[in-house]
Structures are given as C-alpha cells and as structure tokens.
Amino acid sequence: MNGKYKDKQINLPVKYMLDQIIESNLYQDLVYKATQNIVKRLRTRNVFVGEKHEQLIGDLCRVVMNNWKDEHCIVVHPGECGFGKTTAMIEIVKVIADASPEVGIVIAVERISDMKRVEQELEGRAISFFSFYADSCLQGLPEYNRHACSECKYFCEKKRARKEHSKYQVLLVSHEHLLMRALYGDGFGELAYFTDGNGVRQKRSLLLIDEKPQISLNQNLSEKELYTLRQFLMKIGPESPLYGEAKQIERYIYEANFAVGDLKDDYKIIDSFDPSFQLSDEMKKYYFQTYDGDDFAVLGLLASFIRKGGVVQYKEFSSRWHGPGKIFTADILHPDFDMKTVIFDATAGIDLDYQDERYRILDVPRIRSFSNLAFYNCPDANLSRSKLASKKNQIDPETLIKDIINDNHGEMLILTYKGQEGRFRAILEDKRFNADIKLHVDHYGNIKGKYLYANADQILLYGLNHKSDVYYVAKALSHGIRVDFVKAPPTKKYGRVYQHQGLQAIFESEMATDLIQGIMRIKLRRNTMEPAKVYSFIQYRRVMIILQEYFSECTKVEWYPLSFCMKYMGNGKNREKRICELVTYLERTFQIAEIGTCISKEQIFQALKYKDQDTLGADLKNEFVLSVLKRLGVSVGHRKLIKNERGWSHDKDNTNQKQVC
C-alpha cells in the first residue's frame, strides 16, 4: 500500500480495571442482591447467563454502588448487546432506591416511549419528565403547539411531572433533555432535587444514561432556522432590557450568513467570533416562553457557533447537489451535571468521542462468540444517498429483495436511508415478498436502542449512513483537528474516503459504531447462538475490519446477488456494461453444460468484440465474474475456460454453495 495512505493508529479510548475506578468494595450485600435479581430476570427471558457473565454483572453493580477514586470522572460500561445493561440498570435502581431513600437518581433514555416503559418497571419509584408526547396528549395534538399547550385545561402527564417531580426519588428524562440542559449550560436546576420520605430536601447524586448521549455537537443550522430566529430577535424592541443582547446576536447571524455567501464551491473553518459569549438567563427564559420555531435548540446552537466556531459550506462537494448554504457547529458537550455518572454504551471501546480524560471505560471482557454471524458483503456496489436518489439509471431494490429472499425463511430487518424507506414499504405491500419471510423496514438514526426487531435473524444494510464531508470536518474540528481539503482532498483509493488520517479515523469510528448499533437490533442481541446474517454493501476496508474485530469469530463472504448486480452494472459505465455482457455469455455457455465443456478465450474475445486480450484477462479476474465462474464450476486456464465441476445451484443469496448432482 502507498505509504501516503497508511492506516492511522487511532487512539482508541483507554480502558480501566474495576479496582482502578472504585475506592473500596463496600455494599457487598446490596451488590449481591442486585446481581441475583438481574441474573434471575435475564434467565426468565431465556438468556443464558454463565459464571463469567454473572461475575461481570456483579462488577457493574459494584461500579455503580461504590464510591470512586475520582469523583469527577464519567464511567462508561461497554458491555455488548445481550449483556443485559438495561435490565441491570433497572434492578440496580430498585435496590438502591429501597435501601437508600436519601439517594436521588436520574435515568436518561433514548426515547419517551422507553421512558414510559422504564417508569412502569420501576413500579412507582419514578416519574417521567418530558416536554411533549403525542400519545399522552389529552387534546390529541399530533405535535407540540406552544399556544395550545399553554392554554390547555387538562392536567396531563407533562403538567403532573412539572408539579410533582420533587416527590419522586427517581427522575426519568430523555437524551434530548440532556442535550438541551448541556447546550444551554443550565444543569438540572430544580430537577436536581427531591424530597425524601422524611420531608428532607435531597440532591439527586446519581445519573445513569442508557445508550450513548450526544457528545460531539455537529449540528447544521439551516437558513430557515436562522431566519426564524432572526424574526424572533427583531421583535425585541428598544424598550426591552434584552434589546442590546438581541441586536448583538443578530449581528452574529449576519456574520455567519456572510461567511457562507462569500464561498463558491468550498467550505471554510470559522474560528470563534467571541470565546466568552454566553446567553443571559433572562434571554434564555424569554426565548423558551415565546419562541415559535420548531426547534428550541437553535439559539443554543448559534451560541455554540459564536463561542467555538465551526464550519460553513456553500454547497455539497458533489456536483449532483446544489443545496443552500450550511453552517455546522463544532463543539463537545460532555454530560457533566455534578452527579456520579455512568453511561451504558456497547460500542464505547471504538468510539473516539470518549477520548477525553474524564471518561473511564470499564474493561469488560467479551462474554460471547459471534461464530453464528455471517457477513455477506458486496463491496463493488455504491449505494450512496446521491446514487439512490438519482433519476438517471435508478437502482432497483425490488430485484435485490428477490435475490435475497428466494427460498429464504425467517424474519429480516431492512435498514436504509429515511428517503428510501417509502420505496421499500411500497414494494413490501406485494404479498409475494412476505409469503415465506417477515420483512421490516426502518431507517438510519431511528433504531438505536429499539427492541422491535429482536426476532429478526437477518438484516439488509441498504446503503450506509455516510454523512456529508463537511459534517466529518466539523466533527474533526470538535476534537481539535483542522482539515484542509486543498492539501488533502477526499479519495477513493485503498478503500478509504479521506487522505487526512485523523479525518479518516473519525469517519471509520462513527461509521462502524453506527453499523454495530443497527446490526445488534436483530436477535443477535439476545446472546443466542442461532444463525444470523448481515447483507451489506460496505466498500470501506477498515470499517469492515473493525466490524470483524468487534464481532469476533464471525465469518465474511464476498457476496454478489446475481440479478441485482447485473442490473446495477448494466446501468454503469462502459467497463461495468462489458462485465455484464461477459457474465451473460458465461451463464449461457456453462449453466447447463456437461463437465468437460470448454471454450477458448479467443472465442470469447471474438464473440464479445474485445479490443485486446489484456482487457479480457482483466475482466476474467473481476470479483463479480470470479463469483459467477465459481458458481458455474468453471476454471480459467491459460488459453481456455473449462467446466470441471457440476456447478452450484442458485440459492437464496448466491453464496451458500450446494452442488447440483
């Protein structure tokens, strides 16, 4: 490999042993009780818990219950999916709450629906605190409406939580709530306190976060959002004590928009406008009371951009996209809320967001093998957002589904882009596709922590959640890495995306963690040894290596779904169309031929009108062509091709080879 593209030895987060984190091993009775409760619950769900697994559950209880040597650190538990982290969290909280009524606890979960489920399992010990949840709205509103909610006569769950949260030892919030608290620098305010059974006001001292919260803040501030915010600020008149602050923020909006308008087809890193800038408490209060926009994060994101800088872009680098200007923040928001904090994150060990020295990732040995998992990866098909959205030479997902589910059974999750989800749902309305296999469709960014697909034994990754170049530049900037595409432009060589080693490492880390979270939504999460399959189109060599290392002992097969690849390459460039013609010729010649049938390279050369022998030789070495030759039982000699085996049948994925007798 060219030394220029040598793989960066990325600095993965450091792992710590239990005795490096806890001060002493007290509360052994409580640890034992919680451990037994967790193991019992897992076993009632038919989860196998061996001796090693039980010991690691005990270590988790110890790290949550005991005092730490560094009380300002944040501990991250990276137990893999199937470990039982959420179950453990709930049982630990029950034991702590019953034994120590003076210890207040905050639990942060991904979604409000998760919050309601955890609240129910905690059996009266907790209350859910959220802004708006359509399923609980007594007016039946489908989405939040400030005016309708402020004038509502009903005493809903939202109002009850605001009035009664101090009566509950355990408070449940969402990840979005955590983000807003961190973004506006408010801490938990009154939510940080509760009144115990003796009427004593106590501070909540333990924060448990189920799944990774947002740490890198690389949000896009759109023109529409900034316009709405500017309209809000312009309504603050000279008579208001907030007038000066509003005008100052307006000037910063102008500067940010000017930075975007000054570009042509490029991006630019913007340094801080004012490193000391802070929103006043009065401005934040007025904003939350009167802002009519859809996203209350906008003002905080702008404040972050003013304070930390970010990245601006006129349009996407791709000539296919001509979108409006973009402004990306480049900040880091650590979940520091003056509480003992534990994060439960299965992919923490490969996530570069945990590089900061405040994080202590517990060294948790693997408790399982993934020898039952097989990756079927087609590395030659590019299913990027832009390619799938293109009106020219559209890619046909229906052909791919037919290739995969032919003679297949079980249950499959199709994970794709949000914009492609509708296409799949329309296809799956055809009952032929659901006759022998149950199919689900979901999109990237919408499945983290979900349990809906725990019975699926297969997952199709239709495309990869590859975000824009400028997003990764902004994320690199969050970590103190400045990237100049003039000196190190994007690349497609050697299975890489970026020449800049730090940027490539960030891309690989985020892509791999995202894929693992998706893959672990299927039954693989249950610590079962039943076979599971991943069908993918991963072109990035290092990402595939990271996945194979994480899913230890899994197998990987080069996968070329025949009908789909023929259609895909038939819409491609001249070489790809030529490959299709060659495959069609080979299929026609050898599919039902007898053993010993041979054909000279010269015959192929003449029949397909090749310009030179070198081109034919290169095409015969193409991975797709080699997979077809293998299935047909054909070997390539110096001058001819010969059928020396009976060949292989077309099975459900064109990879499991079954000899035709």
pLDDT tens-digit series, residues 453-472: 989 999 999 999 998 888 99
Judge contact between 107 and 172, C-beta under 8 A.
yes
Distance, CA of 612 to chain centre:
47
Structure-model confidence comparison of residues 544 and 499, the more confident one: 544
Tokens of 508: 């690989």
Residue 278 has pLDDT above 90, yes or no: yes
Judge contact between 400 and 394, C-beta under 8 A.
no
Residue 79 has pLDDT above 60, yes or no: yes
Side-chain-side CA neighbours of 620 within 13 Å: the count stands at: 21
**Residue at 405: amino acid letter:** I
For residues 41 and 61, give the distance between their C-alpha atoms in angstroms, rounded to a whole number: 15
pLDDT at residue 326 in the model: 82
pLDDT at residue 320 in the model: 44
Tokens of 388: 């799938």
Residue 645 has pLDDT above 80, yes or no: no
Q: What is the mean pLDDT of the chain?
A: 88
List the beta bridge partners of residue 341: 74, 207
Q: What DSSP element (H or E) covers 630?
A: helix 623-632
Structure-model confidence comparison of residues 543 and 256, the more confident one: 543
pLDDT at residue 257 in the model: 83
Topology classification of domain 564-643: Arc Repressor Mutant, subunit A (1.10.10)
Percentage of the residues of the chain whose pLDDT score is greater than 70: 90
Residue 298 has pLDDT above 70, yes or no: yes
- The average pLDDT across 636-652 equals 72
What one-character DSSP code corresponds to residue 659?
B
pLDDT per residue over 341-360, tens digit each?
999 999 999 999 999 999 99
Residue 314 has pLDDT above 50, yes or no: yes
pLDDT per residue over 383-430, tens digit each?
988 888 877 777 888 888 888 877 678 899 999 999 899 989 988 887
**Inter-CA distances, 380 with 312, 387, 554, 626, Å:** 33, 14, 21, 13
pLDDT per residue over 548-606, tens digit each?
999 999 999 999 998 899 888 888 788 889 999 999 999 999 988 899 999 999 999 99
- The average pLDDT across 440-459 equals 89
What confidence category does residue 138 fall into, taking pLDDT thresholds of 50, 70 and 90?
A: low
Judge contact between 586 and 629, C-beta under 8 A.
yes
pLDDT at residue 468 in the model: 86
What confidence category does residue 80 fall into, taking pLDDT thresholds of 50, 70 and 90?
A: confident
pLDDT at residue 315 in the model: 54
Judge contact between 30 and 20, C-beta under 8 A.
no
Structure-model confidence comparison of residues 189 and 387, the more confident one: 189
Residue 659 has pLDDT above 90, yes or no: no
What confidence category does residue 37 fall into, taking pLDDT thresholds of 50, 70 and 90?
A: very high
Structure-model confidence comparison of residues 591 and 138, the more confident one: 591
pLDDT at residue 265 in the model: 59
Residue of 162, 160, 132 whose CA lies nearest to 146: 132
Q: What DSSP element (H or E) covers 387?
A: helix 385-389
Q: Where does 15-216+334-362 sit in CATH, by number?
A: 3.40.50.300
pLDDT at residue 443 in the model: 94
Residue 634 has pLDDT above 80, yes or no: yes
pLDDT at residue 591 in the model: 87
- The average pLDDT across 269-281 equals 94
pLDDT at residue 208 in the model: 98
pLDDT at residue 319 in the model: 43
End-to-end CA distance of the chain: 43
Residue 505 has pLDDT above 60, yes or no: yes
Topology classification of domain 373-559: Rossmann fold (3.40.50)
pLDDT at residue 654 in the model: 44
Percentage of the residues of the chain whose pLDDT score is greater than 90: 62
Report the helix count and the strand count for the chain, using DSSP H and E.
23, 24
pLDDT at residue 488 in the model: 65
pLDDT per residue over 513-557, tens digit each?
999 999 999 998 877 788 999 999 999 999 999 999 999 999 999
Judge contact between 158 and 133, C-beta under 8 A.
yes
Judge contact between 59 and 88, C-beta under 8 A.
no
Residue 77 has pLDDT above 90, yes or no: yes
Residue 623 has pLDDT above 70, yes or no: yes
